[in-house]
């Protein structure tokens, strides 16, 4: 699906934040209007076959559809997504994707023995072998500077509109090699936010520009898996990684920087990619 067609995909307009009445209890009891982030069931339907239902924020859904399809290995390139329709369906939203015959045949094979689905993380898998599928090895050795990392971290908060309004959301962003934020997405699910960024960057004319991903969440295995599957070789996370995530990143050739703060960062995998640590094994 071309960048232009992705941008033109029919969209269900949702505010992302909704008002609700609440009571604030302090020295006095006060009735207030609270702003709450929306959380909506979003079904991904491929060629008429429902594959997964995610709880997600109802924004950037065209990017989410493409990013999820790429990062879960359902399609290999954006061109294998032929069409996308976004429609209201009961209490949720359906992302109706039309994909080419080759990936759809693979998806049907993958689904034949499915007994259930996960609402987040590793979706549409039926076994440990499927969940822990071999990851490609990425050979990108482009240096990543601490200055770029800190610039990207400083650029997150001003772009987190939903988080300022209501909190309760994660953000994922794509930064240029110099740390300038090119795109940011927010979602109640950290993996959903990352999929939205993957889709937005893949849908650009000319493909994803050089750079690295920045995440406001902890770095878990499925995020490394999504990065490796889509060729993202550097991840910066504000929170800590899991041991399995670091082991997977080490095997896949992904530089992992986490516990990223203004005063310090910790490099967990492939430290030689960090310009300040050049020569470190």
Q: Is 255 a catalytic residue?
A: no
Q: Is 205 helix (H, G, I), strand (E, B) or coil?
A: coil
Q: Are strands 170-175 and 266-269 parallel, antiparallel or unpaired?
A: unpaired
Nearest to 10 by CA among 83, 91, 90: 83
Pull the structure tokens for residue 57.
Answer: 């924020």
List alpha helices for the chain, DSSP H: 3-7, 61-71, 101-111, 128-131, 146-159, 161-166, 190-202, 221-229, 243-252
Element (H, E) at 206: none
- Look up tokens 């941008």; give the residue: 7
Which of these is catalytic: 36, 120, 146, 272? Answer: 120
Q: How far is 50 from 52, CA to CA, in rounded Å? A: 6
User: Do the beta carbons of residue 73 and residue 229 sit within 8 Å?
Assistant: yes
Q: Could you list the active site residues? A: 120
């Amino acid at each position: 699906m071309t960048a232009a067609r992705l941008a033109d995909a029919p969209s269900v307009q949702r505010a992302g934040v909704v008002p609700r009445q609440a009571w604030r209890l302090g020295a006095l009891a006060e009735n207030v209007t609270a702003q709450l982030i929306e959380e909506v069931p979003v079904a991904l339907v491929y060629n008429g076959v429902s594959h997964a239902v995610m709880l997600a924020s109802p924004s950037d859904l065209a990017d989410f559809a493409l990013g999820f399809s790429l990062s879960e290995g359902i399609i290999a390139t954006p061109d294998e997504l032929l069409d996308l329709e976004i429609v209201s369906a009961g209490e949720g939203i359906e992302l109706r994707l039309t994909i080419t015959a080759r990936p759809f045949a693979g998806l049907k094979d993958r689904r034949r023995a499915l007994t259930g689905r996960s609402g987040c993380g590793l979706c549409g898998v039926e076994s440990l072998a499927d969940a822990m599928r071999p990851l490609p090895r990425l050979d990108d050795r482009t240096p990543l500077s601490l200055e770029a990392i800190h610039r990207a971290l400083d650029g997150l908060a001003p772009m987190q509109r939903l988080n300022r309004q209501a909190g309760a959301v994660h953000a994922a962003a794509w930064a240029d090699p110099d740390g300038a934020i090119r795109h940011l997405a927010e979602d109640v699910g950290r993996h959903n936010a990352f999929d939205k960024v993957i889709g937005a960057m893949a849908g650009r004319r000319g493909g994803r520009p050089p750079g690295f991903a920045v995440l406001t969440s902890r770095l878990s295995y499925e995020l490394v898996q999504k990065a490796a599957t889509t060729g993202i070789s550097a991840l910066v996370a504000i929170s800590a990684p899991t041991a399995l995530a670091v082991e997977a990143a080490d095997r896949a050739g992904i530089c992992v920087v986490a516990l990223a703060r203004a005063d310090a960062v910790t490099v967990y995998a492939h430290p030689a990619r960090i310009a300040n640590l050049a020569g470190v094994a």
